[in-house]
Amino acid sequence: MTFPANIDHHRWFGTCSLFFPFEITLGLKHLMTSASIHGYSHSHHGPPSTLKTFLDGGLLILSKYPILKFHTLEFQTKASHSDGLASKGALHCLIDVDGKEVDVFTSHTQASYSYTASPEIDAIQRSQITELSNFINDKMTSNSAIFGGDLNVDAFQNNVNGTYTFLIEEIGSGFEECVDVILKEDGTFPETSVGYCWDKVSCKELVLGSYIGRKDVKKIEEEEEEGGYDIKAARYDYLLLLNKRKGGVVVKKVHGKVQKFEQGEECEFRYLSDHFAVEAEVEIAVIKFD
Q: SS3 string of 141-202?
A: CCCEEEEEEECCCCHHHHHHHCHHHHHHHHHCCCCCEEEECCCCCCCCCCCCECCEEEECCC
Q: Is residue 1 part of a domain?
A: no
Do 204 and 94 sit in the same domain of this protein? no
Q: Is residue 183 part of a domain?
A: yes
Evaluated on CA atoms 205, 209, 213, 214, the torsion sign reads positive
Do 14 and 133 sit in the same domain of this protein? yes
Tell me the range of 20-34, 191-205, 254-268 where mean pLDDT is highest: 254-268
Do 106 and 250 sit in the same domain of this protein? yes
Residue range of the domain that includes 261: 7-192+235-287
Do 117 and 202 sit in the same domain of this protein? no
Do 123 and 52 sit in the same domain of this protein? yes
Do 167 and 203 sit in the same domain of this protein? no
Compute CA distances 173 → 125, 138, 207, 251, 252, whole Å: 17, 12, 36, 17, 18
- What pLDDT digit, counting tens, does each position of 229-274 carry? 777 889 999 999 999 987 788 999 989 999 988 888 887 777 888 8
pTM, two decimals, is 0.88
Do 150 and 178 sit in the same domain of this protein? yes
Number of domains in the chain: 2
CA 125 to chain centroid: 14
C-alpha to C-alpha distance for 150 and 273, rounded to whole angstroms: 13
Is residue 107 within a helix (H) or strand (E), and if so which, with residue range? strand 100-108
pLDDT at 210: 45
- What pLDDT digit, counting tens, does each position of 75-127 carry? 999 999 989 888 999 999 999 999 999 999 999 999 988 888 899 999 999 99
Q: Is residue 261 part of a domain?
A: yes
- 209, pLDDT greater than 90: no
Comparing CA positions, the residue from 150, 7, 169 lying closest to residue 91 is 150
Do 202 and 84 sit in the same domain of this protein? no
Q: Name the more confident of 285 and 270.
A: 285
Q: Is residue 51 part of a domain?
A: yes
Strand 248-259 relative to strand 277-287, pairing: antiparallel
CA 288 to chain centroid: 32
pLDDT at 226: 61
Do 31 and 167 sit in the same domain of this protein? yes
Q: Is residue 178 part of a domain?
A: yes
C-alpha to C-alpha distance for 8 and 4, rounded to whole angstroms: 9
> For the domain that residue 252 is a member of, what is the CATH number?
3.60.10.10
Do 224 and 248 sit in the same domain of this protein? no
**In this structure, what is the dihedral angle of CA atoms 177, 183, 185, 190, given to the nearest 10 degrees?**
180
Comparing CA positions, the residue from 192, 183, 175, 181 lying closest to residue 254 is 181
Do 115 and 171 sit in the same domain of this protein? yes
pLDDT at 5: 55
Amino acid at 255: H
Do 228 and 255 sit in the same domain of this protein? no
Tell me the range of 2-16, 43-57, 61-75 where mean pLDDT is highest: 61-75
- 207, pLDDT greater than 80: no
Q: Is residue 2 part of a domain?
A: no
